[in-house]
Amino acid sequence: MPPGARQPADADPIVGIDLGTTNSLVAFCRPEGGGTPEILPDSAGRSLVPSVVRYGVGGTPEAVGAAARELAVEFPERTLHSVKRLMGRSRADAERTGDLAYLPYRVVEGPNRTARIELPPAGEGVGGRVLSPQEVSAVVLRALREQASAALGVPVRRAVVTVPAYFDDAQRQATRDAGRLAGLEVVRIVNEPTAAALAYGIGLGRRREETIAVFDLGGGTFDVSILRVTPRDAAAGGGGAADTDFFQVLATAGDTHLGGDDVDRLLVGLFASEISAQAGRELSFPPATRQALRRLAEQAKIRLSEQETASVRIDTGGGAAYERTVTRGEFERLIGPWADRALECCSRALRDARLKPGEVDRVVMVGGSTRIPLVRRRVGELFGAEPYTALNPDEVVALGAAVQGAILQGRLGDMLLLDVIPLSLGIETVGGAVAKIIMKNSTVPTQASEMFSTSVDGQTSIKLQVLQGEREMAADCRSLGTFHLAGIPPMPAGIPQVEVRFLIDANGVLNVSAFERRSGKRAALQVVPNHGLTREEVERIEAEALAHARDDMTRHRVADLVANAKLDAKWISDRLAKVGPKLELAYFVDLSRRVEELRALTARAEADWRSVDPNAFHRMKEDLDRASVRMHEVSIAESLREG
């Protein structure tokens, strides 16, 4: 092959791997995906591979991932998890930081004082095998490599692998070696916070220097990093090719033993003490019971991220049970001090970076525990900015590693620039029509808002479906997500005033919020809308819109007419029922007939929009409106008399 010629990208793909303490993931940017990274799941559709390996009695790997974790309790000394805590470190160092206390297997000192893992003796007089953390990580990496090869249908040999920002040279080198042992060339080691930022397109094609905070709160560890992103051409040395060298870590802080597990423990503590109180004596909970309590606690915690309350019920024997409902407020009071610990780390990192919270432009959320609403709120308050939560917090690091892989393959040059909105964005309205709120080709950042109302009397919740595309009906557009604005007090249809605001920031992240003015209720959704479309796809969507333009317009018009005609018919027949006896009989009969005719036509239009002539439909509705004027006059006169 002549020098400089580009290989077809899929022939030798560079995947992105998040090699985590608890879980690992692999992702890839398909060339046809327009720069959108996607997770490559295993054959069962699971994306997370637990970073767990079980060794057989002979000292060879016997199970990896979910299969190894499932039986971890049965083989604690042979099931190796959290080896990332030992990578490239000396045993003494790992002991000093308290990591060894959390590991159920034996950690011994190897050559150059490195931390090694000793498996239990293989038999009488036969010592246990001693493994390096790199070897164990290699087993996980090999599983990810095989998973990626199967998903892509080609052998995978190259990867970008992420590490925490605070990893030193030895820890980075150990990660590279683990890759080599797994048959992977680690073409780049990337800091996890940098990867998280890349997943949101931060640093791609920007013109302005930005300061980013990445808040990574997982199951067992917490890291916060403050990064400076310098645009390519402004960075010293330039370097030419698109690269990520311009993410500079200004400061990191964290706590290697702070995470969602602590929240589970707090809830277990609450339940355990109340169960004891109910029993009237201090109960001791055997490990299996504690484990069951932990699982219930975690489930309750996860429910409380979505709901205002979570209930648990535990049989306490002899027909008795402990039943408990935890409210969001109570939960937040319980975990407040825990959240404070993470926020104190943020303040420390800001101090180290010599920055005030307001000087941080963007905050990116990573790790499962950032789904907790209190965490999001507190982080938002500290930095004075809505944190980025559109991507799955478990996947964002792997997705960013895949973006880095695509950059290294020279592929992101083809990616759509996020500087303009390639397709219009809007919401679904009643009848399945689309109300476009931001038009295609708007430059980012941009924002727009529109007022909406309810379509049914007493409606207390509104479903908002966010759509992308040029067609007039929701079914023909791409749905970007759905959310609900709930808790609206019951009012007649059309009375609530719901302001729907679309805001797209410089990275193309869309924030949609809905605000009901009378009740003050709010709801919001974040999405990354323009990822996932190649130039060809955008062109195809536009061509389709053009081809269907006339039909689509008619359909949209009929949908709007149906919605309005229903409201009118209801409004008028309600009034008719009230003031009918006060009207001349002929007028009453005529108006009733017109209402029925409009209803019949509306029903026909709803069943098949092509079966009606929208102009005739419109005329019939207008005629009824005009004909009903006198009834309204009588109705008003009546109500004045009553009043």
Rounded Cα–Cα distance for residues 313 and 324 (Å): 6
Q: Which is nearer to ligand AMP, 301 or 362 (CB)?
A: 301
Q: Which of 192, 223, 386, 516 is catalytic?
A: 192
The nearer residue to ligand AMP, 65 or 219, going by C-beta atoms, is 219
**Contact window for ligand AMP (CB under 6 A) among 111-119, 152-160, 301-309, 500-508:** 301-309
Instruction: In whole angstroms, give the CA distance from residue 86 to residue 116.
Output: 8
Please report how close the Cβ of residue 332 comes to ligand AMP at its closest, in angstroms. Answer: 12
Active site residue 18: yes
Q: In whole angstroms, how close is the CB of 240 to ligand AMP at the nearest point? A: 36
Q: Is 216 a catalytic residue?
A: yes
| 368 scored as a contact of ligand AMP (CB under 6 A) | yes
Q: In whole angstroms, what is the distance from residue 313 CA to residue 448 CA? A: 47
Q: Which stretch binds ligand AMP (CB under 6 A): 369-377, 413-421, 521-529, 561-569?
A: 369-377
Sole binder of ligand AMP in the list 128, 367, 432, 529 (CB under 6 A): 367
Please, which residue, 259 or 431, has the CB nearer to ligand AMP? 259
Contacts of residue 16, defined as CB under 8 A and 6 or more positions apart, other chains included, come to: 26, 27, 28, 37, 159, 160, 162, 195, 398, 399, 400, 401, 402, 403, 404, 405
- Using CB under 6 A as the binding rule, whether residue 225 contacts ligand AMP is answered as no
Considering the complex, state which of residue 388 and residue 502 has its C-beta at the smaller distance from ligand AMP.
388
Contacts of 469 (CB under 8 A, 6+ apart): 423, 424, 434, 476, 477, 478, 541, 545
**Candidate residues 386, 394, 472, 568; the one interacting with ligand AMP per rule CB under 6 A:** 394
CB of 214 to ligand AMP, least distance (A): 13
Which range in 350-358, 361-369, 572-580, 605-613 contacts ligand AMP by CB under 6 A?
Answer: 361-369
Q: Residues 10, 12, 93, 298: which binds ligand AMP (CB under 6 A)?
A: 298
Within residues 242-271, the interface with ligand AMP by CB under 6 A covers 259-261
Three-point CA angle 37, 40, 45, nearest 5°:
135
Nearer to ligand AMP, 304 or 473 (CB): 304
Q: Which residue bears the tokens 């509306």?
A: 602
Residue 301 in contact with ligand AMP, rule: CB under 6 A: yes
CB distance 380 to 215 below 8 Å: no
Calculate the CA 240 to chain-centre distance: 33
Among 14, 372, 421, 527, binds ligand AMP (CB under 6 A): 372
For the bound state, the minimum distance from the C-beta of residue 254 to ligand AMP, rounded and expressed in Å, comes to: 13
CA distance 584 to 355: 77
Distances (CA, A) of 560 to 433, 435, 471, 599: 7, 10, 15, 14
Among 343, 336, 374, CA closest to 357: 343
Cis peptide before 61 (omega within 30 of 0): no
Q: Out of 84, 301, 566, 621, which one is annotated catalytic?
A: 84
CA atoms of 47 and 426, how far apart (whole Å): 31
Q: Is 529 in the site for ligand AMP (CB under 6 A)?
A: no
CB of 298 to ligand AMP, least distance (A): 5
Q: What is the nearest approach in angstroms of ligand AMP to the Cβ of residue 393? A: 6
Interface size with ligand AMP, residues (CB under 6 A)? 17
Residues 6+ apart with CB under 8 A from 538: 416, 422, 423
Which residues touch 640 (CB under 8 Å, ≥6 apart)?
Answer: none
**Contact between residue 416 and residue 454 where contact means Cβ atoms under 8 Å apart:** no
Q: How far is residue 180's CA from residue 20's CA, in Å, rounded to a whole number?
A: 17
Known catalytic membership, residue 356: no
CA–CA distance, 196 with 217 (Å, rounded to integer): 13
Q: Is 302 in the site for ligand AMP (CB under 6 A)?
A: yes
Q: Which is nearer to ligand AMP, 203 or 367 (CB)?
A: 367
Q: Is the dihedral of CA 608, 612, 615, 621 positive or negative?
A: negative
CB of 31 to ligand AMP, least distance (A): 29
Strand partners, 324: 312
Instruction: Select the residue interacting with ligand AMP from 305, 404, 409, 530 (CB under 6 A).
Output: 305
Range 8-37, binding ligand AMP (CB under 6 A) = 22-23
CA distance 326 to 125: 54
Q: Is the dihedral of CA 293, 298, 301, 307 positive or negative?
A: negative
Q: Amino acid identity of 422?
A: P
For 122-184, list the strands marked E by DSSP. 130-131, 158-163
From the CB of 215, what's the least distance to ligand AMP, in Å?
12
From 210, 216, 386, 428, the catalytic residue: 216
Residues that bind ligand AMP (CB under 6 A): 22-23, 218-219, 259-261, 298, 301-302, 305, 367-369, 371-372, 394
The residues annotated with a catalytic role in the active site are 18, 84, 192, 216
